[in-house]
Amino acid sequence: MWEQILPGLRIKVFMTVLLGVVYPLAMTGVSQVLFPRQSNGSLVKAGDKTIGSELIGQNFSKPEYFHPRPSSAGGGYDATASSGSNLGPTSAKLLRGTTKMDDKKNEVVDFDGISLRVVHYSLENGIPYESSAPLEQFKDAKGDLDDVKLIKAFNDEKAPLLFTPKAPIPADAVTGSSSGLDPHISPANAEIQAARVAKSRNIPAAQARELIARSTDQAALQIFGEPRVNVLKLNLALDHEYPVKR
C-alpha cells in the first residue's frame, strides 16, 4: 500500500513547494527587479507622503479640483467594497434614483440616479439647460438643491420633472464603472470641468485645458482602450502648477 501512496505524497509535497513557494517568490523577485513601481501598487507620492495609487480612484468634490466619475463602491471609492450599481440600463432606480427612511425617520437619498447627477453636473459646470419646473422650488432653507425633492420629482408618475442639458454630457460623467474604483475620466469630461476649475483657481481656462492635454494617456499601441485622464495625477499637477491661493 505504501508503495502506491508514497509516490503520490512526494509529488504533492514537491508541487506544493514548487508552485506555492518557489514560483511566487520567483515571480515576486522578477517583478521587483523589472517593474518595481507597478509591482508595489503604482503608488503616487507627494514628497515623502503616499497619497494614493494610479490604479484606484479617489473622490474629489471641491470646485477647484477635477471630479471623478460616480462610484457605487461603499460610500464612494471605498477600495474595501469594490462594486458597481448592478442596475440595468432600463432600471428606474438607475435612471431616476430612489429615497429611503433613515434610522431617525428622515427621508434621505438611497441611490442618486443619473437624472440627479445630470442636474448637478450641469449646474456645477455651467451647462445651459431646460427644465419643466423651476429648480428654485427644489431648494432647501439654505438655498441648496434638495436631492430628495428632486428624486421624488423625477419619480412623479403624473408629472415627472424633465431636465434637459443643452450640451452633450459624457457618459462617464454620470455613470459609474463596474468596480466603482475607476481612476480615469474621459478627456471630454475633463474639458467640460476645465472652466469651473480655472475659475476657482483664478487662472485662464486655456491653462487648465493645456494641463489636461499633457495629462491625457492615449490608447495603448493606439489600438487598445480609449484616451483617458487620471484624475489623481491631474489634480496633483494642478496643485503643483496652479496652487489655490488661500
Domain presence at residue 17: no
State pLDDT tens for residues 180-226: 999 999 999 999 999 999 999 999 999 999 999 999 999 887 788 89
Domain presence at residue 241: yes
CA distances from 174 to 24, 138, 215 (A): 40, 20, 21
Please tell me the predicted confidence (pLDDT) of residue 59: 93
Task: Look at residue 40 and tell me whether its pLDDT is greater than 90.
Answer: no
Task: Look at residue 39 and tell me whether its pLDDT is greater than 70.
Answer: yes
Cα separation, 103 vs 89, whole angstroms:
31
Domain boundary pick from 150, 175, 200: 175
Q: Which of 188, 187, 238, 178 lies closest to 208, judged by CA?
A: 238
**Mean pLDDT across the stretch 26-41?**
83
Domain presence at residue 15: no
Question: What is the number of structural domains in the chain?
Answer: 2
Residues 135 and 164 in one domain: yes
135 or 31, higher pLDDT: 135
pTM for the model stands at: 0.86
Residues 185 and 210 in one domain: yes
Domain presence at residue 190: yes
Domain presence at residue 66: yes
Cα separation, 52 vs 43, whole angstroms:
6
Residues 183 and 195 in one domain: yes
Residues 123 and 48 in one domain: no
The dihedral through the CA atoms of 145, 146, 151, 156 has a sign that is: negative
Three-state SS for 12-62 is: HHHHHHHHHHHHHHHHHHHHHHHCHHHHCCCEEEECCEEEEECCECCCCCC
The cell for 242 is: 496652479
Residues 152 and 211 in one domain: no
CA distances from 1 to 5, 8, 144 (A): 6, 12, 80
Residues 51 and 97 in one domain: no
Task: Look at residue 76 and tell me whether its pLDDT is greater than 70.
Answer: yes
Domain presence at residue 32: no
Residues 103 and 166 in one domain: yes
**Mean pLDDT across the stretch 60-79?**
93
Task: Look at residue 246 and tell me whether its pLDDT is greater than 70.
Answer: no
H helices within 40-146, ranges in order? Answer: 92-96, 113-124
Domain of residue 236, residue span: 42-84+177-246
Domain presence at residue 191: yes
State pLDDT tens for residues 95-152: 999 999 998 899 999 999 999 999 999 999 999 999 999 999 999 989 899 999 999 9
Q: Nearest 5 degrees, angle CA 239-CA 45-CA 182?
A: 80
Residues 214 and 148 in one domain: no
Residues 161 and 98 in one domain: yes
Residue 55 exposed, middle or buried by CB count within 10 Å (0-12, 13-18, 19+): middle
Residues 167 and 95 in one domain: yes
Please tell me the predicted confidence (pLDDT) of residue 3: 75
Residues 112 and 168 in one domain: yes
SS3 (DSSP) at 141 = coil
Please tell me the predicted confidence (pLDDT) of residue 6: 82
- Computed over its alpha carbons, how large is the radius of gyration of the chain? 24
